[in-house]
Structure 1
Amino acid sequence: MELSTKIKSPVRCNTVENQRLRWERKWSRTAKELVETEQRYSEQLELIKSYFIDILKAKGTLKEDTRKAVFGSLESICLVNQTLLVYLEEGKFGIGFEEFCPHLHLYASYAENMEYAVKVLQEQIRKNKAFVRFKKLQESRPEFMGMKLEDLLPLPMQRIYKYKHFLEDLTANTSPDSTEFKQLTKAVNAVYEVSQHIQDRARSHENYLQMLRVQKLLKGRKTKVLASGRWFLKEGWLTVVPHKGEEVKHRMCFLFSDILLLAKPCHSLHPLHAGKFDCQSVYPLIECRVEKVFGHTRSQGGLISLTFEREKLLLMSNDQGNVNDWYRCLSAAIGQLKSRITVVHKKHNQGGRAQQYKDAITSLETISDASQNRKKQNLRQKRDKSENSNSQCSSFENESHVSKRRKLTENPSERFLERQNTHEVESSACTIL
């Protein structure tokens, strides 16, 4: 038994040692590639800063706001990456990226400004002849290796994606017990968030360009393709299977995340709309059910059935792959749309229930307050009635007491004097008349 353990232990040591050596080799290879590519990237940033930004700033070929709109935060990114390169060349990867990550917001703001920067650059190329001459002269320098300014501006966004892969490889081949592992792990998470944000922005911009292209392909302005939350998915030719007695219709189909648009081509000799399409119908996908009628096998072509609330549509293609692609895209779009609306309804219902609960509590509180007010009012009324009745009783007693006293005090002599006084008054009145 002891002999077996003595034999196995060297094998285990060799296995662990071999694994450690493989990690070290991978780590060294990744680190070397990271440093070399970072050196080239820093050189490119420095070239853009020296030959474009600094000279434009000195000559005044572009106004300050226009220059800032085109180049954004590129100068700040250049300074930050020079500091990072110093750490990387010294082999301090964890500390270098720990100092670099707080400045990742510069890359995020640069990516957000990219669309506007390209627009301003194209406008200057159309209008500013002096800038066009300067741009061509600088691009012809051998340091840029034939790259144009339009190719140089997206370099920071491309570099962020490479940072993500480099950091993942370094973290995977670093000992979890080391301090550098914790630093690289934080850097991976920070770079991933920024790269995801940049990727979402790029995808949104690409979707906008696609929808704008489709909008320009459609004749007239009745059909509005551009809408918030809408995504372009697919386009292509399909045949609409007609009802009895009608001709076959070839339609260009544009699939979006919430609608299916069918259009026919305009006449090729039309002076204004040649090469455009005339929208024939728009179908909402929320009320659609899709089925593949045939095309399950490897037979030629296939048929897709789309059932709406008041209409049924049959789309056909002679290409089996085309049918499968359309069926898959339609099914995915309908499923995602319905699931998204279901989630919205659930949130709305939860919010409605919460509001109902609040309203119920409010109504109960109102009812309780009203009942308490009624009780208080009834008590006041009873108190007032009792006080009124007491006052009436006291006044009646006072009046009766006064009348009795008057009766008692009245004697025959007083009655005689009163009668005599009244008689004198009447006689004097007669004399005056």
Structure 2
Amino acid sequence: MTNNLIFPEGYAEIYQKFSDLLDELVNYLTLIIITSRGTGKSHNVKVKILEWITKTDRELIWLRRNFDNIRKSSLEPWRKILDKYCFEYSENKYKRKDFEEIWEAITRGIKYKKVMRLHFIELYKSEDARELLDKNTDIFMDEAIPNPKGKDKTNLKYLDDEDILYDELYGSAWRERPNLKKRLPRKIFVANPYDRFGPFMKPFNSYLNKNLKELKERLWKEKLIRIEVEEENLRGETEKSLLFLFATEHKRELFDKEWNNFFLPNEKLGIIDLPNNYEILYKLQGFYYCRQLRTGKYFFVSEGNNKLSAPRWTEEICLTNEDFRRSERKNKRLLDNQGLKELVREYLEDLDSNILRFADFESRQHVLFNVIDKVKLNVNL
């Protein structure tokens, strides 16, 4: 028995591991849990949330990327977990009649005693959260790292401008702003190690990039790693954030297969440190296209990179009418379809020749997936 819950033999220990970790949430602004497949993380996190719902007055957000993701991958699994929680795990078993009066799982979330306590929110419509919430609300996201080969076709890649959508949602979850003593909402991301490129990983990128090789060997040997960094919250205060890595493989070839993408070196991703000597050639959808003066090679870097200073006369190349309308630069140019195809062909040739690289994760993800892939697939930008 664990916290007045009863589990089948062998399951209590793994639940307690995740339960204890989530109880530490009060100490961290962001908690990221990345584990090997088959650890039961999604199941156990859901059980812990149901415990919180029954024992506290907390409201929570269960976040997925889009509506189909919610309908197919959230509602039915939550109904199954509710049944197990109430009729198998709870020490005092529910009667079916009482269960139906107390709990209700619907498309928009889970109600407990007629009150919505777990809100199902789609990231692509993050602004909806403002209308649903009236107090600070913690955010949970399961399957936070998309599986590009997964069966769930609605969750194969990150959304366009996912970092902006996260920021909008987090701002909406912070409802009690006048109360300076009130703890800000916590952010919890749960995932398998398909990559390390999600916007939510940003606080850990610097540390991971510097220590990839050592961390991979340490995880193989120790199976569990905790990485703490500092992150600035919406009040401008510094708080701790935690990355929890948990591997279960006991054969090296299986471990490498599971974790290689997560620990893929930057050089294999075409990511470089920001060079010292470069010139900015133009701006494209919030990213600067630059040339290294010593080598003549090119790279993209995010406009948000604080190390970068762009001359005010820098040209902006606009890929859509909306880009052109929003641009505040006097020196701007709108590409037609032919110009867009020629630009992408140039990028592809330079990538093949290894003369085009990226100075941060954000620029790589945007240029490869939101520009090149969309033009190749003839999808609207």
Q: TM-score range by the shorter chain?
A: under 0.3
Q: Which has the higher strand share?
A: 2
Larger Rg: 1
User: How does the TM-score come out when normalised to structure 1?
Assistant: 0.23
Q: TM-score scaled to structure 2, two decimals?
A: 0.25
Greater per-residue helix proportion: 1
